[in-house]
Amino acid sequence: MRVYLDNSATTPVAAEVLEAMLPYFAEEAGNAQSVHSFGQRARAAIEQARRQVADLINAREAEVVFVSGGTEADNLAIRGIAQAHRERGRHIITSQIEHPAVLATCEALERSGFSVTYCAVSHLGLVSVEDVRACIRDDTILISIMQANNETGAIQPIEEIARAVTEARSRGLEHIHFHTDAVQAAGKIPVDVKRMGVDLLSLSAHKIHGPKGVGALYIRKGTRLAKLLYGGRHERDRRAGTENVPGIVGMGRAAEMARAQLSDRMERMGRLRDHFERQVMSRIPNVKINGDPDTKIPFLRRVPNISNLSFQGIEGESLLIALDLKGVAASTGSACASGSLEPSHVLRACKLTEEEVRGSMRFSLSAYTTHEEIDYAVDMLEETIARLRQITPSEPVVRQRVRFRPSSFVL
């Protein structure tokens, strides 16, 4: 059996999404800028997708700009605001647990004269509204706090932070903008830009059963933003470059399905994730749930599809490889895509011990994960942990605490 529990890294494209995309690779391959009917049909398809994405987040169509993915959406939001408002101030507030698409962008801005405050988080992985409020300065132009974390699934208090931003604006700091990275929240919990009170919000298609290489940035009407790319006047002059029509059509269909099925998906994924955690906790000794373990108030502080666990006395990388050999795919905060051996900056920011970080594993479900798959994964996990614990020394190797350095990351 092959069980894919790495859906926070990426999800398979849904059959309906693929079907919607296919015509736009060949028979409907017009350039959406062309005047002829091929171009017009491509344009109409993009505008339909824009409606579908806008509906998912309760935005207006004109507020949605298609980009190449979550990374570009984050870059456009942060660099776009920094560049356009640098005369008003050069201070940015973010958190220590952001995705590198945000952290590395902020670091680059620090090198060009901006100052960035990286807010700490609680042991549950939550940013404190009070901390954010206390960090606001006269020269703050941007606050960027993610809606849900990609490693622990922790849901941040976005509405409360937006209220702090509104308060600051009413004190005369009108130039503060509020961005949230909703890449891991969309399709998992409600995302409503009006209710949340954000100015900018990032989305990525491949996390919601859409294609890779396409995303969107919500830009609240009236927000002044510099461009990243210069060229044609595509996307209402917000983002130059011939539109990725099949990708955008796929993102639109994926967004439409995510919206229509949101409550079903939340209920289903939450139930399976809780079943997974209950089984693991009752069958495997010395396991800790990272993030909010409380499932009595489901989904309040953790997205329903993520389970991040630390297995005492286990090296995450050995577990990852051993599970892969049994057909179970997950991911670990102790390894990363870039091959660095720096452990997860997110789990360290949550004040886990070095051993807990090294023994951590993220299991992430999708709308299509089945009960049988979860049961198989638990069986394999139980067997593998028992075997690894027999062959590895029970005394954890004491390592020095490593400084916060966002050089490694979980996708």
Ligand X SMILES: Cc1ncc(COP(=O)(O)O)c(C=O)c1O
| Footprint of ligand X (CB under 6 A) | 69-71, 74, 99, 101, 146, 150, 181, 183-184, 204, 206, 215, 411
Q: Which is nearer to ligand X, 69 or 304 (CB)?
A: 69
Polymer length of the chain: 411
Q: Which of 376, 347, 156, 346 is nearest to 272 (CA)?
A: 376
Tell me 199's DSSP state.
S
Q: Which helix (H) or strand (E) holds 4?
A: strand 3-4
For residue 130, what are the contacts with CB-CB under 8 A and spacing of at least 6?
none
**DSSP E strand boundaries for 44-122:** 64-67, 91-95, 115-119
| CB of 144 vs ligand X, minimal distance in Å | 11
Which residue number is nearest to ligand X in terms of Cβ?
70
HEC assignment per residue over 141-160: EEEECCCECCCCCEECCHHH
If one counts every other C-beta atom within 10 angstroms of the C-beta of residue 81, the result is 26
Report phi then psi at 127, rounded to 5. Answer: -75, 140
Q: Which helix (H) or strand (E) holds 387?
A: helix 371-391
Q: Which is nearer to ligand X, 329 or 411 (CB)?
A: 411
Q: Which is nearer to ligand X, 41 or 99 (CB)?
A: 99
| CB of 152 vs ligand X, minimal distance in Å | 11
| CB of 397 vs ligand X, minimal distance in Å | 30
Distance between CA atoms of 205 and 212, rounded to whole angstroms?
Answer: 6
| CB of 186 vs ligand X, minimal distance in Å | 10
- By annotation, the residues acting in catalysis are 336
Residue 281, token pair as written in the block: 């906790």
Q: Which is nearer to ligand X, 140 or 331 (CB)?
A: 331
Q: Which helix (H) or strand (E) holds 165?
A: helix 158-170
Tell me 321's DSSP state.
H
Q: Which is nearer to ligand X, 175 or 206 (CB)?
A: 206
| CB of 333 vs ligand X, minimal distance in Å | 13
